[in-house]
Chains A and B, each alone.
Chain A
Amino acid sequence: MQTYYNPEDLKKFGKIGEFQKELADKFFSYYGSVFAEGALTAREKSLIALAVAHAVQCAYCIDAYTSDTLEKGCSEAEMMEAVHVAAAIRGGASLVHGVQMMNKAKELSM
């Protein structure tokens, strides 16, 4: 069955440099630096990445950061709480626009 998402393609991510090496090299160098231990631990960054992966609904990223958070010793409760953070922000982003709707409705109504 053909699909737009093929799990095998995740392993080929590093090959995007075939079409534009310089920018790919810069991206992967930057990517490595972002996820290194810093003011935030690599473990904390992995949980943030897992949450963002759900927010942007990237199937590859969800696979990658589910493995990564497990490898970094995160519990399943921590992982699901990270997903709820993404869901809360996405839900909140919709709901907070309700204020705009209310403002407009009040503006237009007697």
Chain B
Amino acid sequence: MKSLKASGHQLANVDVQLQTLQSEVADTLQLPLFHEKLQTAGLFPLSTTEPAVFQINLGKMCNQVCRHCHVDAGPDRKEIMTRETMQACLDALAQTNIPTVDLTGGAPEMNPNFRWFVEEVRKLGRKVMVRCNLTIIVANPKYNDLPDFFRQHEVEVVSSLPFYNADKTDRQRGKGVFEDSVRALRMLNAVGYGQPDTGLLLNLVYNPNGAFLPGPQESLKRQFKRVLQDEFGIQFNDLYAITNIPISRFLDYLISSGNYDGYMEKLVNAFNPVAAAGVMCRNTLSISWDGFIYDCDFNQMLDLKVASPVQHVQDFDLTTLNQRSVVINQHCYGCTAGAGSSCGGTTA
């Protein structure tokens, strides 16, 4: 399977995505636009708080081509953060007290400077989280020692596993992904990840395998814990339930499967003001592979840069950035539906 971009799909164009979302909510469904919903909740404009997470997308290259991927990542994507931009990120980070650096992609480990970068971030005394797709660990012998590298640098590993069986996982993430993910999880467990009293955190990310919302996070976590332990001997710490955001490949899936109207209506009708107040974009800075600054990874994929005079990490100035409001659009309904959704799971 190719990325939308490589296949020349019209949804690879972010303007087409934004127009599609806008006309769906306003014209087809005749429901309130997102800023109107925020207004009724007393949350517009959506203010920012002191940033707690510095999220960096190290590139769109990935060894997987997941059907729901909001990044449109894959082996055919060549956008990779350069060492120069990484250094600019380090310089920016050093100006702040932001405690957590969240590395994502693509498969961030495929960036040739990934290990150097993790070491440099750790020298700054910041906690590192990596959004590891698991299969990268077993994709090539040069990645087999990643669990040990993560352990040495006390990296928190956050990994997608949309279901506890092969059928559903592979339908979303590609053939053989579940089996490879199990192998990788066992390797992580073997060096201490997900084990009691090691302090090595292994958290899983659940996202629905289609056009429906995630159920209660705690219930899903109990089920995953039971099945993964009983059937595969795998242990993990926490499970984050994340809603699929209607952009990029998931938007393509919704439209082509005839689920678009129903899903958007479900998201809008499930708007939860408590979840909206807790969205991650309020305390996150998201840096793209080419150094631009966004409020979140989804805005990054829609090229909705921060509403600030400072828009690139080379010009980083936290005082100026902290004066901004969050840039919103219709895709934001995904993070405010039901129990809410963020990179750390539910928000309400």
Contact = CB atoms under 8 A, between A and B. Distances in A.
Contacts, number: 34
A64 B167 CA distance: 23
Nearest to A67: B212
B210 A70 contact: yes
B167 A76 contact: yes
A75 B212 contact: no
Contact of A75 (B165, B210, B219, B220): B165
Interface string B27-38: 000000000000
A71 B214 contact: yes
Interface string B110-131: 0000000000000000000000
B220 A73 contact: yes
B168 interface: yes
Nearest to B265: A11
A24 interface: no
B204 interface: no
A70 B209 CA distance: 9
A6 interface: no
Interface in A64-110: 67, 70-73, 75-76
A18 to B, nearest CB: 19
Contact of A71 (B163, B165, B212): B212
Interface in A20-78: 41-43, 67, 70-73, 75-76
B206 interface: yes
B216 interface: yes
Nearest to A75: B165
Interface in B189-214: 206, 208-210, 212-214
6 contacts: A67-B212, A70-B209, A70-B212, A71-B212, A71-B214, A73-B206
Interface of B: 163-165, 167-168, 206, 208-210, 212-216, 219-220, 223-224
